[in-house]
Chains A and B, each alone.
Chain A
């Protein structure tokens, strides 16, 4: 990783392994009374969020503070963006104030890649449109490794709106690099067959039972109604065919774990019973987000 973190696709396996290992070092800190290190003392992390986000923004903010850095969060509504300034001008103005890194979320796929081509400041992608959400995939991998000895050979089902999901894309790239058997499942318009070409080891089914059978890890995706300004599937029957409930969860391995990047739609893609069960590691994902983002910030700012 030379500069920033734009996507998982460009990372190689050793880079990912070392980030996950470093995140593991930071995990115990989260339970301690004194949580602050001074590894990034005096550095400034700017969180620039052009899309509403609570958990990712706060998670980065906490991660920066636990490393001793200063953190500043900007939500783009109400800034110069609304005055018609271009993205490039907004971010180059901001970088003239010499922060050490910009953590950015933007609704346009590739927005951080575009900026990274024109600006020298390191950029960490905190989610770009429908493209990637690299720290989410890293925290998901960290969470899986807390429950399994290795990623190799696992069967992982990702269920929901794959087409529009940056979480799915980052996870597919990461898990594929570790030889995971990936099954994608959801309504056909949201799970196009060409996704099989995204990475090795990807298969597709439109039958959730087939996706769940014998699986180790179940990743449920939020059905992103805010992106659906068009008819992609019959909304009334979504949970009947693609919702995770106790009875279809029983098809998975007995120790299978259930993950969700949040925010959840209880009763739509996941039943409350499953979400709150002992199989669910959803809150561990949130907790691991801080350790993983500490590892990423440390790496980028080293």
Chain B
């Protein structure tokens, strides 16, 4: 059995309360243990002196576009971008073509990932058939096939009765319900956050209240149904206050935030540049502050990228014609270090939680720590190395990132999946 000894790094394993210089031994695809001066006999050695050794990072919200939109991304290309970005596991949203609304498609994605993916891929299934918001998908059968959560991401379930039934079913199967919270009537026609910037640029607004009213509805339904409910890419001050209140009341409500929602506000975007167009939109400065406060206060459970590749052709258009979404996998750690850790808001330990135990706990995945016996997924970070993101060198098939040319401080320097070094800087 091949062994890999990661020697002399600063091991940060929040789940086990470890933060000290130590060795990590991987045997085959399993973590053997964390210890001092572990024997290197028969093992390949990775010298991690001066680096941080963490459990493998998990991105619980990506779009891999396969099947159906392979010109934008594939399971193979997206998983390589994940590896470069330091992620060992990603959860892929079901808005493919066809929509992942059957156990058959779930199995297809899992098998395809097993064949071509550099990292672990966990499919998220649809809530309703075709994500059309009407008839419930085969939730239990998809879960049995390997779906780790359900969501109609991007096409939120507008009918509250359907959402209630979905939550009742999800609760009975103990599967997580993830909602992209957007009242489509309030946001209709909108291209960016409704506020001073949208008025200045003459662009139609997506108001913060379009997110807030859905978060409010969903939390009430989660209370009625007892479902485990998760707010995807939360972006507003009011929404986070409602999640905090739901948690205080003991509801099983969690949330994630994307790096761009805690890093950029609407007055900073380059006008009419589609690399700043996504849903939810870049919000205003008080929302950005609320995201950072939510991270500090522990209201936010996970950082997720909402990696949403779109081809250059689709993004090189009039702003209002461009599709929503930006790349995120390769820049998430850099942005988080810059905006959260180096900016002094949180420790690197807390940041690691948001990428490991946080999402693993939300999804009930038996990952996100360096406990012996767990899959040998490890992310090795250099929090201080300077590097510049060149989107043209990205393994993603798309180029839609607002961070092209940005110089970051700190990144993942090695990504180990199931004991195998899948990427090294």
Interface of A toward B, CB cutoff 8 Å: 9, 86-88, 106, 108-111, 113-114, 117-118, 128-132, 163, 166, 169, 192, 194-195, 197-198, 230
Evaluate whether A110 and B318 lie within 8 angstroms (CB atoms) in the complex, with A86-B313, A230-B188 already known: yes
Q: Please measure, in the bound complex, the distance between the C-alpha atom of A195 and the C-alpha atom of B316, giving whole angstroms.
A: 29
Whether B201 contacts A131 by the Cβ 8 Å rule is yes
Q: Please measure, in the bound complex, the distance between the C-alpha atom of A118 and the C-alpha atom of B196, giving whole angstroms.
A: 26
Interface residues of chain B: helix, strand, loop or mixed (majority): loop
B393 at the interface (CB under 8 A from A): no
Q: Please measure, in the bound complex, the distance between the C-alpha atom of A166 and the C-alpha atom of B313, giving whole angstroms.
A: 28
Q: Please measure, in the bound complex, the distance between the C-alpha atom of A132 and the C-alpha atom of B271, giving whole angstroms.
A: 13
Whether B316 contacts A88 by the Cβ 8 Å rule is yes
Q: Please measure, in the bound complex, the distance between the C-alpha atom of A198 and the C-alpha atom of B201, giving whole angstroms.
A: 10
Residues of B within 8 A of A118 (CB): 316
Whether A108 contacts B199 by the Cβ 8 Å rule is no
Cβ distance A121 to chain B, nearest Cβ, rounded Å: 17
Whether A128 contacts B202 by the Cβ 8 Å rule is yes
Whether A109 contacts B199 by the Cβ 8 Å rule is no
| Tally of A-B Cβ pairs under 8 angstroms | 63
In chain B, positions 304-335 with a C-beta closer than 8 Å to chain A are: 313, 316-321
In chain B, positions 24-73 with a C-beta closer than 8 Å to chain A are: none
Residues of B within 8 A of A88 (CB): 316-317
**B274 and chain A: residue at smallest CB distance:** A114
Sampled A-B contacts (14; CB under 8 Å): A86-B313, A86-B317, A87-B318, A108-B318, A109-B203, A110-B271, A114-B317, A114-B318, A117-B273, A129-B320, A130-B204, A131-B202, A198-B196, A230-B188
Residues of A within 8 A of B226 (CB): none
Residues of B within 8 A of A169 (CB): 200, 202
Interface of B toward A, CB cutoff 8 Å: 188-189, 195-196, 199-204, 271-273, 313, 316-321
User: Nearest 5 pairs between A and B by C-beta?
Assistant: A131-B202, A110-B272, A108-B318, A130-B202, A109-B202
Whether A194 contacts B199 by the Cβ 8 Å rule is yes
Q: Please measure, in the bound complex, the distance between the C-alpha atom of A132 and the C-alpha atom of B321, giving whole angstroms.
A: 18
**B204 and chain A: residue at smallest CB distance:** A130
Evaluate whether A110 and B199 lie within 8 angstroms (CB atoms) in the complex, with A87-B317, A88-B316 already known: no
Residues of B within 8 A of A109 (CB): 201-203, 272, 319-320
Whether B320 contacts A114 by the Cβ 8 Å rule is no
Complex partner residue of B203 from A86, A110, A192, CB under 8 angstroms: A110
Residue from the set B202, B203, B317 with the largest chain A CB neighbour count within 10 Å: B202
Complex partner residue of B272 from A114, A198, A230, CB under 8 angstroms: A114
Whether B199 contacts A198 by the Cβ 8 Å rule is yes
Whether B200 contacts A198 by the Cβ 8 Å rule is yes
Cβ distance B148 to chain A, nearest Cβ, rounded Å: 38
Cβ distance A96 to chain B, nearest Cβ, rounded Å: 18
Q: Please measure, in the bound complex, the distance between the C-alpha atom of A174 and the C-alpha atom of B266, giving whole angstroms.
A: 23
Whether A192 contacts B319 by the Cβ 8 Å rule is no
Q: Please measure, in the bound complex, the distance between the C-alpha atom of A163 and the C-alpha atom of B199, giving whole angstroms.
A: 7
Whether B318 contacts A111 by the Cβ 8 Å rule is yes
Whether B195 contacts A110 by the Cβ 8 Å rule is no
**A88 and chain B: residue at smallest CB distance:** B316
Residues of B within 8 A of A9 (CB): 200
Q: Please measure, in the bound complex, the distance between the C-alpha atom of A162 and the C-alpha atom of B196, giving whole angstroms.
A: 14
Residues of B within 8 A of A192 (CB): 199
Cβ distance A137 to chain B, nearest Cβ, rounded Å: 14
Complex partner residue of B318 from A106, A132, A166, CB under 8 angstroms: A106
Cβ distance B410 to chain A, nearest Cβ, rounded Å: 31
Q: Please measure, in the bound complex, the distance between the C-alpha atom of A131 and the C-alpha atom of B320, giving whole angstroms.
A: 12
Q: Please measure, in the bound complex, the distance between the C-alpha atom of A192 and the C-alpha atom of B197, giving whole angstroms.
A: 13
Complex partner residue of B320 from A108, A132, A195, A230, CB under 8 angstroms: A108
Whether A194 contacts B195 by the Cβ 8 Å rule is yes
Q: Please measure, in the bound complex, the distance between the C-alpha atom of A294 and the C-alpha atom of B204, giving whole angstroms.
A: 32
**A50 and chain B: residue at smallest CB distance:** B318
Q: Please measure, in the bound complex, the distance between the C-alpha atom of A117 and the C-alpha atom of B316, giving whole angstroms.
A: 11
Whether A113 contacts B272 by the Cβ 8 Å rule is yes
Q: Please measure, in the bound complex, the distance between the C-alpha atom of A230 and the C-alpha atom of B321, giving whole angstroms.
A: 20
Cβ distance A85 to chain B, nearest Cβ, rounded Å: 11
Complex partner residue of A108 from B200, B313, B316, B319, CB under 8 angstroms: B319
Complex partner residue of B201 from A110, A194, A195, CB under 8 angstroms: A110
Cβ distance B345 to chain A, nearest Cβ, rounded Å: 28
Q: Please measure, in the bound complex, the distance between the C-alpha atom of A14 and the C-alpha atom of B14, giving whole angstroms.
A: 61
Cβ distance A49 to chain B, nearest Cβ, rounded Å: 15
Residue from the set B199, B316, B320 with the largest chain A CB neighbour count within 10 Å: B199
Q: Please measure, in the bound complex, the distance between the C-alpha atom of A108 and the C-alpha atom of B201, giving whole angstroms.
A: 11
Q: Please measure, in the bound complex, the distance between the C-alpha atom of A131 and the C-alpha atom of B189, giving whole angstroms.
A: 15
